[in-house]
Amino acid sequence: MGDYHFVYKDVEGASTQWDDIQRKLGNLPPKPPIFKPDPFTPAEDEGSKAKDKDWIDEKTQDELDDLEDDPDVNDDRFLQEYRMKRIAEMKEVAKIVRFGSVTPISGSDFVREVSQAPEDIWVVVLLYKDGYSDCQILLQCLDELATKYPATKFVKIISTDCIQNYPDCNLPTVLVYHNGALKSNYVGVRSFGRRCTPEGVALTLCQSDPVLNDGRGKKEQSREAVLEGVRERFLEKVVAQHEDDDGSSSD
């Protein structure tokens, strides 16, 4: 009969007294640690997550609107109040950025659109007439500024619709209003420098007051901050133009 060798394997982690003695003498390697699998944790249900401040902050306007009937949110007074606060803040931001172009107005619109403009809104008024090249040049500059600074209101009006018998030799004229008061006026295109550019117009408008507002900040910026922003935009434009010129010359 052949020899059969049986290897007995005890319960994992168990050790005999003999093995323990041999390990103390250094004849056997140290006993390996007992394998213990990580405890099972079921995946967290998205709907069961705590609806805290961070959870609300991640929501868009549409998602916040969808939460109107969410009982988990409505049952929590703090989160409900916080949600309403977030909606109000988002509406304020949307309210600020609402212009973005030079809007034509008539004489009958002037009081409503300019003198009675919302509080803290700067209004830039262009008095012009069709067929005058200087008016067209300045209008192009204001069109660009209106796009870059959508929280500042830009309007244009035929000069004689605004001021009866206004001299054509004074065209174009820019009036700047704030809270219903006339803050400054600029007569003639030369008021904005030897060459009328959007950057030159922006710098001139902001020499005394922070007229231009891009709507990114919640509060009105200081004149210095606005001027710094105008200078940065000007430098970015110059760099971009040089890059375009270099690309064209290399072709």
Q: What pLDDT was estimated at residue 11? A: 53
Give the confidence band of 8 by pLDDT, cuts at 50, 70, 90. very low
| 188 vs 159: CA distance, rounded Å | 13
Give the confidence band of 215 by pLDDT, cuts at 50, 70, 90. confident
Instruction: For residue range 100-126, list pLDDT tens digits in order.
Output: 899 999 999 999 999 999 888 999 999
One DSSP character per residue, the chain reads ----------STT---HHHHHHHHHTSSPPPPPPP-PPPP-PPPPGGGS---HHHHHT--HHHHHHGGG-HHHHT-HHHHHHHHHHHHHHHHHHHHS---SEEE--GGGHIIIIITPPTT-EEEEEEE-TT-HHHHHHHHHHHHHHHH-TTSEEEEEEHHHHSTT--GGG-SEEEEEETTEEEEEEESGGGG-SS--HHHHHHHHTTTS-----S-SSSPPPHHHHHHHHHHHHHHHHHHHHHHHHHHHH-
More confident residue, 48 or 165: 165
| 141 vs 234: CA distance, rounded Å | 13
- State whether the Cα torsion 174-176-182-184 is positive or negative: negative
Q: What is the pLDDT averaged over residues 44-66?
A: 60
Residues of the chain with CATH 3.40.30.10: 102-240
Lowest mean pLDDT among 34-48, 72-86, 153-167, 191-205: 72-86
- C-beta separation of 142 from 201 below 8 A: yes
| 54 vs 80: CA distance, rounded Å | 14
Q: What is the pLDDT averaged over residues 43-58?
A: 59
Kindly report the pTM of this predicted structure. Answer: 0.57
Give the confidence band of 239 by pLDDT, cuts at 50, 70, 90. low
Q: What pLDDT was estimated at residue 165? A: 95
1.10.3720.10, 3.40.30.10, 1.10.10.10, 3.40.1790.10: CATH of 102-240 = 3.40.30.10
**Residues of the chain above pLDDT 90, percent:** 37
Give the confidence band of 221 by pLDDT, cuts at 50, 70, 90. low
Residues 6+ apart with CB under 8 A from 175: 124, 125, 127, 182, 184, 185
Instruction: For residue range 59-103, list pLDDT tens digits in order.
Output: 665 666 666 556 555 545 556 666 677 677 666 666 555 788 999
Instruction: For residue range 13-25, list pLDDT tens digits in order.
Output: 566 777 777 777 8
More confident residue, 205 or 248: 205
Instruction: For residue range 145-190, list pLDDT tens digits in order.
Output: 999 889 899 999 999 999 999 999 999 999 999 999 999 999 999 9
Q: What pLDDT was estimated at residue 6? A: 45
